[in-house]
Chain A
């Protein structure tokens, strides 16, 4: 960890310093005068940094050393599936034949004959993901999980419109990700929130009361954000379908179910998955991700364009004419570079590897749950799936809150779990270890958590000053809101 203060790159500017070289114009080119009238031109160049290449390299290298990351630290951030990102996938995505491919090339000859390799990647990835989800077709276009949600709800809206249904509402459980209600609202729906029951699963009585003819869809995460399998899911699907409402699968937690069951068999009609969670593509400090959507047959006509198809002669093509399609939701074919990494991961793991992922992820989460159970409140004491959610209520009563425990973990070299989510657990600590962390690392984490609990009893006042090993101590968020300094 680099704890030295860092100037901004702009503050390192020295007038006249350069960080790049550009080719010279040939005399013939230079003889061509620019024909842009002055009124269209800037009066001076934008105030970008004036620094050398080494200045830039040293600056960003030093900044990188102020981050926790999967490559450097255990990162059990619940609901985010921070598993190891294989290096071979990065190498493949950087191959010239993929990275250097212009997205308009398919339009230059025979509906994709210039990009057969890339189209095969898309087609095969769709097929593999459709099998994993138990869906009839996929679209790889959504560029993140929430974008997949929005696309999925737009598909559902198109389905209802096509059937002449007048539906105005979408149901979400109170334990859902914030993106679910936000996506439903952005697709024009009113959001109805249904509470969780005492077992951590959706309250069935409340659900049935909310389920009327106006409901277009129910958005469920399974396992849910408490790490619990929704035990009534098939019943929920039956009730929904009886009202011609569709069941939407938020695939944020698909890591738990890989090869164990098909979400499609559970009754889900539309799914989105997160390639940057379940399929090991890196999170990039917040993105890019990819959020493919999968659908059952009845929704295929509505999928976004373009659609990748395989011709009878074994070649691949893009189809642009789909009368009932929701239209274009991405400029081209989605985050191709991310899809490519996920495809490589799927090929590496294969069917047994994927099943081993869910088995080992669930085992690791249960192991942590059992080991920490004596030390923290466990609001829903049941076999968990890929993550477990504790409540730091006991510690909070002594003045040590979930956020303080998080900061204490940072000082011990662990990225903290997700805290204060799901909202239904007051002092939530949501731990997702993933399948790629060794038992030694799990044990070290467990030991650190127990040590923190002991310290919370002995000296709760000490926590307010944590963390102390980072480049900065706790930051004043209120001041940031008030100052509104978003740039230099």
Chain B
């Protein structure tokens, strides 16, 4: 049998040591009425057969389309060293570092990941990872509810619609109320956001850049929120922080986000990486694993899981969250990626994406009938207004080998003619030109 080393002779020796006649005797506790003869599924296949089958299936996916899809999930280049290092068995076949002396590799890497996230967001403490950007935002919201003792949350509709529906699913059985504030011309509606924040508000949740690609500075929202004892939660796109003002510099209290863009493949939606960072004052309200620095008996520096009294294995129903497994290997990929890119590299990358996006705007707005929404500055993603339904247009562009973007009518009523287009460093001038020509030909 695959991966089972025991020979019949070894099994017989073990059975005899156990004092059983046959293996089925070991299952005698299962009432006979429930014992199975065989599962209703096929026989096992060889490695060659499994590879061939799945290799064939992988070709029944349109991954070769030139990708202008974003929506919070981006087709960035992944340096080869990320895969080479993260595929070391010592990293990926280890478990949660419960025995710190035998897990210093994982623990130091997580400590470095936490440091990198703090430096990127300009916050004081980051946890060891959560599942994805959406669950991270939910955990951030619950932190704010616990920290303020309030249960009302103001939600900017520029926050990803995917995350907004996730927030509603998760809070269905909890006493949390949301007030959604619609964006105005693709940007946060200042007056309405300010007005929505009251003495009853636990948190206001914003996103930068927002779902339409618009960049913002939420310092004024933070000032208003803090004057009402309310916290500010921001969901951010980490690559943009090579260029954009960090949430920590806007006085944001909790930063949550999706780390996929930091060296993780798109992989049809996961595994991804939820990151969460906050101020030290809120650390005990934080969910998830946290690695801290300490010393061993000889005074040598080392790392351990710490502040575990927040966690489910100690506090059970009183824990700050139920999370146990997180996305450690994805966090490792992120810190390797950020180390390779480095201080200047991440800045250059962000600049490259933003400049290419400006070029794409210019090229696409030259297509007759196409208009770029110009009301707000953008980073690497922007909204196009088309003369016809955008879902119609993207379907036609698939035939030209292009995934042209995301039709916003899927999530926003009344925006059927709008297309969300993302540009990463992987998109060449030729590909952008091809998109413009193809768009012109299908309109």
Report the separation of the CA atoms of residues A146 and B81 in the bound assembly, to the nearest whole angstrom.
32
Report the separation of the CA atoms of residues A416 and B100 in the bound assembly, to the nearest whole angstrom.
11
- Chain B residues with CB under 8 Å of A99's CB are 265-267
- Chain A residues with CB under 8 Å of B352's CB are 22-23, 25
Of B17, B295, B341, B394, the residue contacting A108 (CB under 8 A) is B394
A370 within 8 A of B: yes
Pair A344/B103 contact, Cβ less than 8 Å = no
Produce 1/0 per residue, B120-156, CB < 8 A to A. 1010111011011111000000000000000000000
Report the separation of the CA atoms of residues A319 and B104 in the bound assembly, to the nearest whole angstrom.
45
Pair B270/A383 contact, Cβ less than 8 Å = no
From B177-185, B191-199, B320-328, the one touching the partner chain is B320-328
Interface residues on B, range: 35 or more
Pair A356/B79 contact, Cβ less than 8 Å = no
Produce 1/0 per residue, B339-370, CB < 8 A to A. 11111111111011011101100100000000
A397 within 8 A of B: no
Pair B26/A383 contact, Cβ less than 8 Å = yes
A314 within 8 A of B: no
User: Given contacts A144-B326, A260-B27, are A283 and B342 in contact (CB under 8 A)?
Assistant: no
Produce 1/0 per residue, A256-280, CB < 8 A to B. 0101111001100000000010001
Report the separation of the CA atoms of residues A337 and B87 in the bound assembly, to the nearest whole angstrom.
14
Pair B269/A103 contact, Cβ less than 8 Å = yes
Interface residues of A in 391-416 (CB under 8 A from B): 406-407, 410, 415-416
Shortest A187–chain B CB gap in Å is 5
Pair B23/A359 contact, Cβ less than 8 Å = yes
Pair B343/A57 contact, Cβ less than 8 Å = no
Pair A352/B108 contact, Cβ less than 8 Å = no
Interface centre among B5, B72, B403 (most CB of A within 10 A): B5
- Chain A residues with CB under 8 Å of B83's CB are 94
Pair B300/A472 contact, Cβ less than 8 Å = yes
A86 within 8 A of B: yes
Pair B269/A475 contact, Cβ less than 8 Å = no
Of A70, A92, A101, A329, the residue contacting B54 (CB under 8 A) is A92
User: Given contacts A178-B313, A363-B15, are A49 and B342 in contact (CB under 8 A)?
Assistant: yes
Produce 1/0 per residue, B16-59, CB < 8 A to A. 01111001011111110011101111111111011101111111
From A292-300, A430-438, A447-455, the one touching the partner chain is A430-438
Of A75, A107, A351, the residue contacting B95 (CB under 8 A) is A75
- Chain A residues with CB under 8 Å of B292's CB are 480-481, 483-486
Pair B322/A146 contact, Cβ less than 8 Å = yes
User: Given contacts A98-B58, A187-B173, are A438 and B296 in contact (CB under 8 A)?
Assistant: no
Pair B269/A39 contact, Cβ less than 8 Å = no
Shortest A403–chain B CB gap in Å is 9
Produce 1/0 per residue, B213-227, CB < 8 A to A. 001110000000000
Pair B271/A337 contact, Cβ less than 8 Å = yes
Produce 1/0 per residue, A1-19, CB < 8 A to B. 0000110111001001111
- Chain A residues with CB under 8 Å of B50's CB are 88, 92, 344, 347-348
- Chain B residues with CB under 8 Å of A304's CB are 169
Interface centre among A88, A101, A260, A364 (most CB of B within 10 A): A101
Report the separation of the CA atoms of residues A6 and B293 in the bound assembly, to the nearest whole angstrom.
13
Report the separation of the CA atoms of residues A20 and B425 in the bound assembly, to the nearest whole angstrom.
13
B172 within 8 A of A: yes
Shortest B381–chain A CB gap in Å is 12
Interface residues of A in 360-382 (CB under 8 A from B): 360, 362-364, 366-367, 370-371, 382
A131 within 8 A of B: yes
Produce 1/0 per residue, B44-78, CB < 8 A to A. 11110111011111111111010101011101000
Residue of B nearest to A110 (CB): B395
Produce 1/0 per residue, A33-51, CB < 8 A to B. 1111101111001111111
A226 within 8 A of B: no
Produce 1/0 per residue, A230-271, CB < 8 A to B. 010010000000000000000000000101111001100000
Of A70, A366, A371, the residue contacting B93 (CB under 8 A) is A70
Pair B346/A182 contact, Cβ less than 8 Å = no
Shortest A6–chain B CB gap in Å is 6
Of B244, B266, B270, the residue contacting A102 (CB under 8 A) is B266
A387 within 8 A of B: no
Pair A97/B14 contact, Cβ less than 8 Å = no
Shortest A387–chain B CB gap in Å is 13
- Chain A residues with CB under 8 Å of B170's CB are 154, 329
Interface residues on A, range: 35 or more
Report the separation of the CA atoms of residues A481 and B46 in the bound assembly, to the nearest whole angstrom.
50
Of A45, A259, A371, the residue contacting B38 (CB under 8 A) is A259
- Chain B residues with CB under 8 Å of A435's CB are 3-4
Interface residues of B in 241-262 (CB under 8 A from A): 241-246, 249, 258
B211 within 8 A of A: no
Pair B316/A259 contact, Cβ less than 8 Å = no
User: Given contacts A56-B81, A259-B39, A261-B36, are A48 and B26 in contact (CB under 8 A)?
Assistant: no
Residue of A nearest to B88 (CB): A64
Pair A60/B85 contact, Cβ less than 8 Å = yes
Of B61, B133, B168, the residue contacting A97 (CB under 8 A) is B61
A32 within 8 A of B: yes
Report the separation of the CA atoms of residues A109 and B174 in the bound assembly, to the nearest whole angstrom.
37
A67 within 8 A of B: yes
A355 within 8 A of B: yes
Report the separation of the CA atoms of residues A416 and B95 in the bound assembly, to the nearest whole angstrom.
12
User: Given contacts A22-B349, A331-B272, A486-B114, are A285 and B91 in contact (CB under 8 A)?
Assistant: yes
Pair A36/B169 contact, Cβ less than 8 Å = no
- Chain A residues with CB under 8 Å of B129's CB are 286-287
Shortest B276–chain A CB gap in Å is 12
- Chain B residues with CB under 8 Å of A471's CB are 101, 104, 302
Pair B93/A85 contact, Cβ less than 8 Å = yes
Report the separation of the CA atoms of residues A63 and B166 in the bound assembly, to the nearest whole angstrom.
36
Report the separation of the CA atoms of residues A264 and B197 in the bound assembly, to the nearest whole angstrom.
48
User: Given contacts A20-B341, A261-B34, are A46 and B429 in contact (CB under 8 A)?
Assistant: no
Report the separation of the CA atoms of residues A132 and B394 in the bound assembly, to the nearest whole angstrom.
40
Pair B39/A351 contact, Cβ less than 8 Å = yes
Interface centre among A128, A337, A421 (most CB of B within 10 A): A337
Pair A19/B339 contact, Cβ less than 8 Å = yes
- Chain A residues with CB under 8 Å of B169's CB are 154, 304, 326-329
Residue of A nearest to B100 (CB): A475
Report the separation of the CA atoms of residues A50 and B358 in the bound assembly, to the nearest whole angstrom.
28
Shortest A325–chain B CB gap in Å is 9
User: Given contacts A117-B61, A475-B100, are A284 and B44 in contact (CB under 8 A)?
Assistant: no
Shortest B97–chain A CB gap in Å is 7
Pair B61/A98 contact, Cβ less than 8 Å = yes
25 residue pairs of the A-B complex, CB under 8 angstroms, read A5-B301, A35-B377, A39-B217, A42-B245, A49-B339, A56-B340, A67-B103, A77-B98, A92-B51, A99-B266, A178-B312, A178-B319, A185-B318, A259-B38, A282-B92, A284-B327, A330-B134, A347-B54, A348-B45, A360-B4, A472-B101, A473-B298, A475-B101, A480-B304, A486-B125
In the A-B complex, list the 3 residue pairs whose CB atoms are closest, starting with the nearest: A332-B269, A97-B58, A350-B44
In the complex, given contacts A23-B352, A100-B265, A304-B169, what are 6 additional A-B residue pairs having Cβ atoms less than 8 angstroms apart?
A150-B322, A154-B170, A286-B96, A336-B267, A367-B18, A486-B114
